[in-house]
A and B are shown apart, each in its own frame.
Chain A
Amino acid sequence: MLDILLIATIAIIIGANDASNVFGSAVGSKMLKFKIAIIFFIIFIILGAVINAENPSKVYGNLILDYPDFKKIFLIIIPVVIVTIISLKLKIPSSISQSVIFSLVAFSIVEKLNVNYELFLELIYFWLATPLIAFILSIFFCWLINFIFKVLKLNVFQIDYQIRLSLIFFGCLAAFALGAHLTAAIVGIYSPFLSLELEFINLNLTIDDKKLYFLTSLLIGLGAFYFSQKIVRTIGSQISNIKPVPALAILLTQILILFSFSSNHTIGFLNTYLPFQIFAMPLSASHITFASIIGIASFNKFREVKPEHTIKILLSWVLIPISVFCCSFLLTSIYNF
């Protein structure tokens, strides 16, 4: 029961925040009605989760060689929920996947479980590399989109039409790619237990991994449906204030990076060309989005970037995992004590 509540809480929080990153620009500029955007978001996030979430979810099983007892998983999730809610209050985007993995490692240290530190280091390398890749790719995509419009000599109304269509189409693709990562980040930790026996209001539910991904992504969708509009209005999406062409470039960057680390076909294809091997892992969509925004801002020599806010977010990339690690370490120690 506690596990279900924790999963639901975290999924709803994520849904409320991440829907605006995908369709924020299209809805903000009134190119797409909010309810239609959310329906697209729910459909594609579920599809992405059911089709691809199992790939990045495998990281958890590979990271902890002797996997923890199912009944103690809540000790890993609670610190993540606490830190995510605090970061949300401070209006700082946080990465659920990173938080879960740092919490899992702290838990494993206390529980004296066998951790694959080589894989853990690789994950950290990729988490550091993906924002850098996003920074470069967003600049490239922004330049490419402008170049295409210039070559085609389209007028502003034609460009507006093409951008509207692209924001909807790529928004759906981004939701699909995001579905795998967000779901893997939230419930990937349960994936080694293929048949979960969950107790819910005196009912015994047997949930396999596909059902788990489906239900979690549905909760993410519901979080988006009920709360994201309010969040976009009160907090404001980082993307919704960005002009349509950069917004499209950011979406393309998200899609390319998220697909590259979730779809087995894409990973296989990239590994034949890359000098190093990549593998499926849950990535932080918020870090990719933020790095893309900074990439786009570099076009205007960072004039539109608020230094205080940027420093706060960059610091949070270090402080949030450390906080989760410490919180999880303490909680598990107290529980064992």
Chain B
Amino acid sequence: MLKSHEKELMTSINLFLDNILKINNLFKILLQKYFDNNFEEVQTVTDQISNLESECDALRRDVERRIYSETLIPEIRGDVLGMLENLDKIPGQIQGNAHSFNTEKPKVDSELDQNFLKLCDYASECISLLIEGSRSFFVDKKITIKKCLEVAKVESKADKVSTELKKTIFSNSKNGLATKVHLKYFVEIMDEVANLSEDVADRLIISSSKN
């Protein structure tokens, strides 16, 4: 009985991590569709992201409850719970970003498209590395540390792109201040995904080193 519980838990955790990756990929698709002005598809993808985010919440709560009620992994229980809760902030942030694009429909100049996509790619790479590191946390903590250190490197690339984007936005004389501030807000919420990944990665490095 104990063995089946342990397998179920690992399956739930893997499903939770897979869902974060799916949300990550869906956001890239959403952004592409947005720049193609395909707003119907943007709505569909936003709904898909919302559903997956809700699934992530349910999975996280279930895993946390089972770890505590069955008093499993007493040594690293706190670290695993911290990891799951911090990871769960990422799909939440992406869902918020998707809703913002869907409802606010910012006016992005065509010359900014590529940089927005680049920023999205870097944030996405941060998440992929973080998920690989999180999976390894349950098996080999050395790999976790290695992957999490890579997250920090990619996050700094994302920061550079974000700074570049902000410079371009504010150097454009055609747009008014309101548009500039609006676009800056979108740059920041997209960069926030990379920042969140870096924060989770930093916590994971400490947990892995401690154990």
Contacts and interface: CB of A to CB of B under 8 A. Distances in A.
A29 interface: yes
A30 to B, nearest CB: 4
B71 A155 contact: no
B7 to A, nearest CB: 8
A155 B139 contact: yes
Instruction: Name which of B9, B72, B140 has the most chain A CB atoms within 10 A of its CB.
Output: B72
Nearest to B135: A155
Contacts of A153: 139-140
A158 B139 CA distance: 10
A156 B63 CA distance: 14
A245 B64 CA distance: 23
Nearest to B72: A160
B73 A160 contact: yes
Contacts of B2: 161, 164
Interface residues of A, number: 14
Interface core residue of A154, A160, A164 (most chain B CB under 10 Å): A160
Interface in B6-21: 6-7, 9-10
Interface string B140-157: 100000000000000000
A138 to B, nearest CB: 18
Given A161-B2, A161-B6, A156 B138 contact: yes
B176 interface: no
Interface in A142-199: 153-158, 160-161, 164
Contacts of A161: 2-3, 6
B70 to A, nearest CB: 9
A156 B71 contact: no
B10 A157 contact: yes
8 closest A-B pairs by CB: A30-B71, A157-B6, A155-B138, A29-B74, A160-B73, A156-B138, A161-B6, A155-B139
